[in-house]
Amino acid sequence: MPNGRHAVIAVPFFWLFLFFVLPFAIVLKISFTEADVAIPPYTEIYTWAENQLSIVLNLGNYLMLTEDQLYLAAYLGSLKMAFFSTLICLLVGYPMAYAIARADKDVQTVLLLLIMMPTWTAILIRVYAWMGILSNNGLLNGVLQGLGLIDAPLQILNTDIAVYIGVVYSYLPFMVLPLFANLVKHDLSLLEAASDLGSSHINNFWKITVPLSKNGIIAGCMLVFIPVVGEFVIPELLGGPETLMIGKVLWQEFFNNRDWPVASALAVVMLVILLIPIILFNRNQAKELEGKV
């Protein structure tokens, strides 16, 4: 029996090692090398000569990240974009998840299907569709001009607003689904008891529903915030030259400049930044589990 238990536990650990630890170790190694005109375009960190192993770690890539304002601006731009996108997704997604959770069982299936259906289409196709909608001659400007709300087309495409629209549209389902999974399990008798004691519906919502849905809120925010920090497709297609995010800089370093060591250092620092909310979330979950025991 213990052998079977160990085998079951070993499967996710092997999966994690194969698709996270090993790729991260390779990227970490490249981040300590120097750029070189070769294939692959970087030097090795170790050499073996005359029965001696020499290891040389180049810290210049990480020092460059602190000296060049471009990289700092890219990190701050990504965190800003991820924070406000997550906040908008929460403000829009919470009422949607709440309405779905309180709907009839038959209607819930249809509403959840409507939420998930856009994710069945490739994100590249959906972003291209938004390019047509938000362009000067696109559907949105056409409708606004047809209604007489504007005289000239609005410049939405190639701005931060377009990026926010694309990000919120693409990642909203990742906020709604965890919130729904949490809200649908709430005991409605708590709200009835509070109402019998004279509490208003608004007070019930803020004092009972929102605190009980804390785990759903945290899970949804993490599912949106973490991938948005490294997002590349949406800022590249909908954003303009002033839209500076770390995913875009990573692409340029890897494929345009072919400076793999600097790009790897960028990726390592980004991953370290993303580990902070993950660690905080795990600590929060551990404390809650200890409280239930």
What single letter denotes the amino acid at residue 207?
K
> Do 279 and 285 meet the contact criterion of CB atoms below 8 Å apart?
no
Residues with Cβ within 8 Å of residue 241, at least 6 apart in sequence:
none
Euclidean distance between CA atoms 125 and 68, whole angstroms: 35
Euclidean distance between CA atoms 17 and 13, whole angstroms: 6
At residue 65, the pLDDT reads 87
pLDDT at 1 over 60: no
Sign of torsion over alpha carbons 146, 148, 153, 155: negative
pLDDT at 111 over 90: yes
Q: What is the mean pLDDT of residues 247-259?
A: 86
pLDDT at 221 over 90: yes
Per-residue pLDDT tens over the stretch 74-109: 999 999 999 999 999 999 999 999 999 999 888 999
Per-residue pLDDT tens over the stretch 278-291: 887 777 777 766 65
> Do 97 and 179 meet the contact criterion of CB atoms below 8 Å apart?
yes
Residues with Cβ within 8 Å of residue 209, at least 6 apart in sequence:
98, 183, 186, 191
Does the predicted TM-score (pTM) go above 0.85?
Answer: yes
pLDDT at 145 over 80: yes
Please give the full DSSP string across 72-85, using - where no structure is assigned. HHHHHHHHHHHHHH
Closest CA to 123 of 77, 172, 51, 156: 172
- Report the mean per-residue pLDDT for the chain: 88
Strand partners for 46: 55
Please give the full DSSP string across 246-265, using - where no structure is assigned. HHHHHHIIIIIS--HHHHHH
